[in-house]
Amino acid sequence: MDYTTIDKMAFNKNVSLHGKTVLITGVAGFIGANLAKRLLQDVEDVKVVGIDSMTDYYDVSLKEERLHSLSEYDNFIFMRVDIADKEEVETLFSDYQPEVVVNLAAQAGVRYSITNPDSYIKSNILGFYNILEACRHSYDDGNKGVEHLVYASSSSVYGSNEKVPYSTDDKVDNPVSLYAATKKGNELMAHAYSKLYNIPSTGLRFFTVYGPAGRPDMAYFGFTDKLVKGENIKIFNYGNCKRDFTYIDDIVEGVIRVMQHAPECSNGEDGLPIPPYCVYNIGNNRPENLLDFVTILQEELVRAGVLPSDYDFEAHKELVSMQPGDVSVTYADITPLERDFNFKPSTPLRVGLRMFAEWYAKNKKRKYS
């Protein structure tokens, strides 16, 4: 995908990334690694400090490969740190004094949260609290401290809302999974810290991120692994689902733009800070039917040579009922993102799946699932 260089992005910027230290948590993850690479390629004199706990939620070798691709950059520093370890986080902030923090570390996955709740509380709640506390104390002793905290929320916070497209003005009080509840909790915690301590923070509700070298637990990757092995794929809600699939490069572009504009600090009539706090959706603004998605995926897998042209897809598709914690549609209203950052994700699903299929064709002999 071709994107405007960071210097030429046309919107109101109040945070320069040049010469800054940027902390990215979850840097070995899908979004984190791609964000780090783009910053290191495009931003002059930036230092990226990346941390990750390297959990085995999915194959660690894929995370290691992402880190290997970042190791060629002199301005990249990696440390194996768990954000749930308060002492390690405090030491990290003391040693590197990051000016911009992007918190992408989290226990991901809606379905996994149903059977493994402890890891979500540890990483998503306790871990994020430690990041907020470190940001708060970065201003101690008159230090300039963190200029902007950007953190990952999720489209899952919209739960079973029936109104679409989902707007950041909508109520999000009915999560249908613990994962969604922790992400809503992150937004509430960030709001409180922004109000109390004037920490400029922006939450980003990501919508179904996909692309090359992504997460093996996501449908497009998991379906491909199963089809290659000759196994059946389960299509939930009998195919009556829609997802706002958003290509990884569009996600990264959105994050980088948001990083460069922190919510403004000001005081209200009560003399207390008006929270320098915002939340945005980042989605493709175009929900795709799951059956159409599967059709495009199989066509691109054949085109890339991952599967033979005579593959019997119908024999390997199984239509099943909705899963606990799942929703029937996700659809992002991105009007505020367009207005404030002059950006709208636009990668067509076929183009994105083609990029994934071509990557998989080169790497399919390796085991990533």
Q: How far is 58 from 68, CA to CA, in rounded Å?
A: 17
Annotated catalytic residue, options 179, 210, 360, 368: 179
Pairing mode of beta strands 21-25, 100-103: parallel
Q: How far is 117 from 274, CA to CA, in rounded Å?
A: 34
- Whether 151 is a known active-site residue: answer no
Nearest Cα to 284, choosing from 315, 310, 253? 253
Strands (E), the chain: 21-25, 47-52, 76-80, 100-103, 148-154, 201-206, 209-210, 233-235, 242-243, 246-247, 266-267, 273-274, 277-282, 288-289, 317-319
Q: How far is 284 from 344, CA to CA, in rounded Å?
A: 7
Read off φ and ψ for residue 346, nearest 5 degrees.
Answer: -145, 10
Q: How far is 286 from 170, CA to CA, in rounded Å?
A: 18
Q: Which two tokens stand for residue 234?
A: 């389960």
Looking at the annotation, which residues are catalytic?
A: 179
